[in-house]
Amino acid sequence: MHRLRTTVAILWPITVNQRAQGQSQARRFAAGGPLSTSEPMRNYTASLSAEPFLNGTSCNYVEEMYNAWLENPRSVHKSWDIFFRNANFGAPPGAAYQSPPPLVAPAPGFVDDQLMGGAQPNLEKLVEDHLAVQSLIRAYQVRGHHVAKLDPLGIKAGIDPGPPPSDIITTNDKLAFYGLDESDLGKVFRLPTTTFIGGSESALSLHQIIHRLEMAYCQSIGVEFMFINDLEQCQWIRQKFESPGVMQFTFEEKRTLLARMVRSTRFEEFLQRKWSSEKRFGLEGCESLIPALKTIIDKSSMNGVDSIIMGMPHRGRLNVLANVIRKELDQIFCQFDSKLEAADEGSGDVKYHLGMWHRRINRVTDRNITLSLMANPSHLEAVDPVVQGKTKAEQFYCGDTEGKRVMSILLHGDAAFAGQGVVYETFHLSNLPSYTTHGTIHVVVNNQIGFTTDPRMARSSSYPTDVAKVVNAPIFHVNADDPEAVMYVCNVAAEWRATFHKDVVVDLVCYRRNGHNEMDEPMFTQPLMYKQIKQQKGVLQKYADRLIEEGVVSRQEYEEDIANYDKICEEAHARSKDEKILHIKHWLDSPWPGFFNLDGQPKTMSSPSTGLPEEELRHIGNIASSVPLEDFTIHGGLSRILKGRAAMVDQRVCDWALGEYMAFGSLLKEGTHIRLSGQDVERGTFSHRHHVLHDQNVDKRTCIPMNHIAPNQAPYTVCNSSLSEYGVLGFELGFAMASPNALVLWEAQFGDFHNTAQCIIDQFISPGQTKWVRQNGIVLLLPHGMEGMGPEHSSARPERFLQMCNDDPDTFPIFSAEEFAVRQLYDCNWIIVSCSTPANYFHVLRRQILQPFRKPLIVLTPKSLLRHPEAKSSYDDMLPGTHFQRVIPDSGPVSEKPEEVKRIVFCTGKVYYELTRERRNRGMDYTVAITRIEQLSPFPFDQVKVETDRYPNADLVWCQEEHKNQGFYDYVKPRLRTTVNSTRPVWYAGRGPAAAPATGNKAAHLVELKRFLDTALNLDAFTGPS
């Protein structure tokens, strides 16, 4: 109704000024300017009933007509011309309309006023027809992809198998859907501003309109974009695909494309000839992937990108390494030789998982470009967030705040892209301020099969790419057997990314010539598809024939090209036979220049003290308890918290949050970037941290005091994440990979939530170094502790982390006393700590950066201890010369007469405070020593031995609050035994075995606690073999 009134208003006499405005609106987009959806010409006084054809559905169209008429009165139908003239001359409503001459079909593409004289027209039919044409154009834009010729096999196994939509004119009878018929094909219609099919023409015959829409939307490219909310973006895409003649390439471009197809195809053929029985997950059936990626890289390089980080699965990976990243061929070929000896530490990985980093000149742009392909595990799509994190880090370190220099490309298989939830989690990071990489180009190798499973059994969506719609990413489906169409969409995708800095998807619809791998028989499960595939001519051959026919290359040139590349492969193969040693380090995807010495070893094997001078502690404490911005009002409750912190500074003590502040603040001051990410980390799940202050009077005004520590400090990033663990932990792992000089921490809301990120932990964090010789210093903060909160929220499942530690339970390491700690750390796959004091937490965070190598650190963090009056540390424990304490010995009365001590209770974490309280209550301070093992892994054999030696007459008890089959017991027990050489039994005090981590009943929780404390401190509790 509103639009109708507007239109009628427009039809009233207008000023010259208004006329200019109307014209400029219509043409603004073409000039590249921003679009405005509303125009200021408004007059609500007109009578609507006076012009009956101005009904609610037609006013859109009338506006179009009017704007066109303003520009060129001859471009609209005579009847409209008369109508607008009359309206302009001030004809009152109802009088502007005059019956026009009858409509006789003019020649296609040609408006002939002369032919319009004579009989009475049916204006309503005219408006309806024009509206119908508008809907028809829109139908192609929305659903044209359904009839595009996307499937090289023509069997549509993997793409929307339904019948063509009824509003797409696949046969002339479908015109009836719009109230049109064949006789209308010659009529000329004014084109709306929402299409570019006219090129420089503003009106076309229906016949031409349909033809051009078919060319734009129903050939080898299917564009899905009409779900995008942004009009400017939709217009941009329409212009790219609808403008006549956009898909034309020069001979040179075609020859380059052919050369790339030759490399891609002959590489696989070479591998097949040489190693016919080796798994390589070849690219056959999707050879255009290589020119696709190269086109994206060329175009992005042209647009200023100088670093591209890629993640991809198994399919075609070797080909990408060889022909996109340009890894030396002999280095790839020698991977097929199993007799090679590994030169580096670690157990390595299969060849189609390894990563790679390479800087070279891009031949097309003559600019330097760095390409890295991230190593990845078998777990499909797991690498996606890791790539994004690494990309974000590289952007961050080079000040690329808009993603103009560094970008990521993610490759996917069709089945995995649709099936794996982490894809969705990764998409949801794409627009978040602290996680965006400013647009990723996704390329799907859509071979219409996943191992042996058909798409109809593997997903519920029409396309494997539907997940991308959640972020309004355009999706370009393309028949991979049409290399020029592939090249075109890849160019558009790269331009899209450079223009809008948003994600985009290229769906290469292809097939898989062989089975899942080269050994696999696909006819068992897809007999008809594979009968078709066997008949399918290879894409290289098809394209070469086409170019030869077009006269772009001669057959001889083409054959020479093939012979040349084959020769390159043969020569590299000959060279590869000279390789005796396999250097896994040559496959490093993230080098850390300057961090190690030249042979890749740490520059030193000593760890400096992690303590700080008192003034520094005081200074950071003051920042932590203040608001560094003027006129900034914080919440009253927070004022009280900050006052409490100030009081601690006066008393020279820290609680947990202040200890963390001291560690972060000092590292920032020393130039180490810190990034803390996770759900609600800014305030802290337990409302203890408050790293971001919020002005109570100004919406979204915030202050991060940690960024006010010192003038030249490193930046501090603290960011609440999306509600994802898999995606976000993967992202932070990737961020930590980019540089050793940053402390990157991911905090779980509660420790147990890490299990939804298990794949990142199992596949990357625990074994990353041994598989890919790549260190990583990521820190996981996992709130852990049995507080009677029920089965969830209680356990960070330390048993799982401990089970994956690589230290030997049965061997006491032989290291010198001075180097014991650091050597153990160097050898381990990760470090697991459960700190009981803020000072120790402070030290372990600082050690993470000050030690000369990087290892993942898992910290079981407390909940009730955050506010426990005894869980405070004095500055004295944080001063220069102090260190992280792997073991905290009992410093109470037991040390006075150690030989009289009857029992050592070893424990870790918050149960220490429960044990000491119970010991005090029982008056056993002289008979029972309570020793805290703060670093569980690598196990501090040396320091534990000091304790067991100190109390020669004591029995040994491991006490934990967790259930017996969980927690630390299984890990600690054999190591305690090894420490005492099995001369003393190791007893257990804790909860019994259970399926759940904790009871849901608070009373039961307390009974259990009482029971196991009783066992731990009852000197008669244990007899017989342990």
Ligand X SMILES: Cc1ncc(C[n+]2csc(CCOP(=O)(O)OP(=O)(O)O)c2C)c(N)n1
Q: Give yes or no for residue 727 binding ligand X (CB under 6 A).
A: no
Which one among 313, 413, 621, 990 touches Mg ion, defined by CB under 5 A? 413
Return the number of the residue (520 or 695) whose C-beta is nearest Mg ion: 520
Q: Is residue 543 classed as helix, strand or coil in its secondary structure?
A: helix
In angstroms, what is the minimal distance from the CB of 731 to ligand X? 18
416's contact among ligand X, Mg ion, none, with CB below 5 to 8 A by partner kind, is: ligand X
Which one among 447, 741, 837, 851 touches Mg ion, defined by CB under 5 A? 447
Q: Which stretch binds ligand X (CB under 6 A): 172-180, 448-456, 679-687, 965-973?
A: 448-456
In angstroms, what is the minimal distance from the CB of 315 to ligand X? 3
Q: Token pair for residue 541? A: 């051959």
Return the number of the residue (319 or 836) whose C-beta is nearest ligand X: 319
315's contact among ligand X, Mg ion, none, with CB below 5 to 8 A by partner kind, is: ligand X
Q: Token pair for residue 676? A: 């803390």
Strands (E) located in 329-469: 341-342, 356-362, 367-373, 406-413, 440-446
Locus of tokens 């969980």: 966
Q: Token pair for residue 379? A: 């777990």
Return the number of the residue (121 or 515) whose C-beta is nearest ligand X: 515
Which one among 249, 336, 424, 451 touches ligand X, defined by CB under 6 A? 451
In angstroms, what is the minimal distance from the CB of 378 to ligand X? 4
Q: Which stretch binds Mg ion (CB under 5 A): 1-9, 53-61, 257-265, 407-415?
A: 407-415
Q: Give the residues across from 831 on adjacent strands.
A: 857
Alpha-carbon distance values, 945 to 475, 720, 939, 954 (Å): 63, 43, 11, 13
Which one among 254, 315, 502, 977 touches ligand X, defined by CB under 6 A? 315
What strand order describes the sheet that includes 504-509?
Answer: 221-224, 475-479, 504-509, 440-446, 406-413, 307-311, 367-373, 356-362
Count residues contacting ligand X (CB under 6 A)?
A: 15
Return the number of the residue (421 or 1000) whose C-beta is nearest Mg ion: 421
What residues between 499 and 518 interact with ligand X by CB under 6 A?
Answer: 512, 516
CA 241 to CA 221: how far, in whole Å?
9
Q: Which stretch binds ligand X (CB under 6 A): 29-37, 226-234, 374-382, 529-537?
A: 374-382
Element (H, E) at 868: none
In angstroms, what is the minimal distance from the CB of 417 to ligand X? 7
In angstroms, what is the minimal distance from the CB of 416 to Mg ion? 8
Q: Token pair for residue 852? A: 């000369």
Which one among 64, 184, 284, 414 touches ligand X, defined by CB under 6 A? 414
Locus of tokens 């229906």: 206
Q: Which stretch binds ligand X (CB under 6 A): 3-11, 33-41, 400-408, 412-420?
A: 412-420
380's contact among Mg ion, ligand X, none, with CB below 5 to 8 A by partner kind, is: ligand X
What are the respective helix, strand and coil percentages of the chain, to the nearest 5?
45, 15, 45
Which one among 416, 738, 742, 831 touches ligand X, defined by CB under 6 A? 416
In angstroms, what is the minimal distance from the CB of 317 to Mg ion? 14
What strand order describes the sheet that includes 716-720?
Answer: 716-720, 673-678, 742-747, 779-783, 857-861, 831-833, 935-937
The amino acid at residue 779 is: V
The amino acid at residue 521 is: E
The amino acid at residue 672 is: T
CA angle, residues 277, 278, 284, in degrees to nearest 5: 95
In angstroms, what is the minimal distance from the CB of 976 to Mg ion? 51
Which one among 415, 657, 832, 998 touches ligand X, defined by CB under 6 A? 415
Longest distance between any two alpha carbons in the chain, whole Å: 123
* 278: exposed, middle or buried (Cβ count in 10 Å: 0-12, 13-18, 19+): middle
In angstroms, what is the minimal distance from the CB of 415 to ligand X? 3
**Contact by Cβ (8 Å): 690, 661:** no
CA 410 to CA 428: how far, in whole Å?
15
652's contact among ligand X, Mg ion, none, with CB below 5 to 8 A by partner kind, is: none
Return the number of the residue (407 or 418) whose C-beta is nearest ligand X: 418
Q: Give yes or no for residue 129 binding Mg ion (CB under 5 A).
A: no
Which one among 3, 5, 379, 652 touches ligand X, defined by CB under 6 A? 379
Q: Token pair for residue 297? A: 């890289």
Q: Token pair for residue 221? A: 């490219």
Locus of tokens 């507007």: 6
In angstroms, what is the minimal distance from the CB of 284 to ligand X? 11
Return the number of the residue (449 or 714) whose C-beta is nearest ligand X: 449
Which one among 381, 414, 616, 934 touches Mg ion, defined by CB under 5 A? 414
What residues between 297 and 356 interact with Mg ion by CB under 5 A?
Answer: none
Return the number of the residue (414 or 561) whose C-beta is nearest ligand X: 414
Pairing of strands 779-783, 693-694: unpaired
In angstroms, what is the minimal distance from the CB of 514 to ligand X? 11
Report phi then psi at 37, rounded to 5.
-90, -10
The answer to whether the bond into 244 is cis (omega within 30° of 0) is no
Return the number of the residue (222 or 522) whose C-beta is nearest ligand X: 522
Return the number of the residue (14 or 283) whose C-beta is nearest ligand X: 283
Q: Give yes or no for residue 404 binding ligand X (CB under 6 A).
A: no
373's contact among ligand X, Mg ion, none, with CB below 5 to 8 A by partner kind, is: none
The radius of gyration computed from the CA coordinates of the chain, to the nearest angstrom, equals: 35
Which one among 385, 413, 665, 730 touches ligand X, defined by CB under 6 A? 413
Return the number of the residue (279 or 973) whose C-beta is nearest ligand X: 279
CA 786 to CA 911: how far, in whole Å?
9
Return the number of the residue (94 or 154) whose C-beta is nearest Mg ion: 154
Q: Token pair for residue 941? A: 């054999």
Which one among 203, 445, 547, 936 touches ligand X, defined by CB under 6 A? 445
Q: Token pair for residue 486? A: 């592939």
710's CB contacts (< 8 A; 6+ apart) are 668, 669
Return the number of the residue (378 or 554) whose C-beta is nearest ligand X: 378
In angstroms, what is the minimal distance from the CB of 761 to ligand X? 15
Q: Give yes or no for residue 296 binding ligand X (CB under 6 A).
A: no
Neighbours of 509 (CB within 10 A): 31
Count residues contacting Mg ion (CB under 5 A)?
A: 5
85's CB contacts (< 8 A; 6+ apart) are 73
Q: Give yes or no for residue 449 binding ligand X (CB under 6 A).
A: yes
Q: Give yes or no for residue 933 binding ligand X (CB under 6 A).
A: no
Q: Give yes or no for residue 442 binding ligand X (CB under 6 A).
A: no
Q: Which candidate, 506, 527, 523, places its Cα nearest to that of 294?
A: 506
In angstroms, what is the minimal distance from the CB of 415 to Mg ion? 5
CA 929 to CA 924: how far, in whole Å?
9
In angstroms, what is the minimal distance from the CB of 462 to ligand X? 16
**Contact by Cβ (8 Å): 932, 908:** yes
* 112: exposed, middle or buried (Cβ count in 10 Å: 0-12, 13-18, 19+): exposed
In angstroms, what is the minimal distance from the CB of 475 to Mg ion? 17
Q: Give yes or no for residue 838 binding Mg ion (CB under 5 A).
A: no
The amino acid at residue 972 is: V
**Contact by Cβ (8 Å): 828, 855:** yes
Q: Give yes or no for residue 152 binding Mg ion (CB under 5 A).
A: no
378's contact among ligand X, Mg ion, none, with CB below 5 to 8 A by partner kind, is: ligand X
Which one among 198, 222, 311, 450 touches ligand X, defined by CB under 6 A? 450
Nearest residue (beta carbon) to ligand X: 413
Interface positions with ligand X (CB under 6 A): 315, 378-380, 413-416, 445, 447, 449-451, 512, 516
Interface positions with Mg ion (CB under 5 A): 413-415, 447, 450
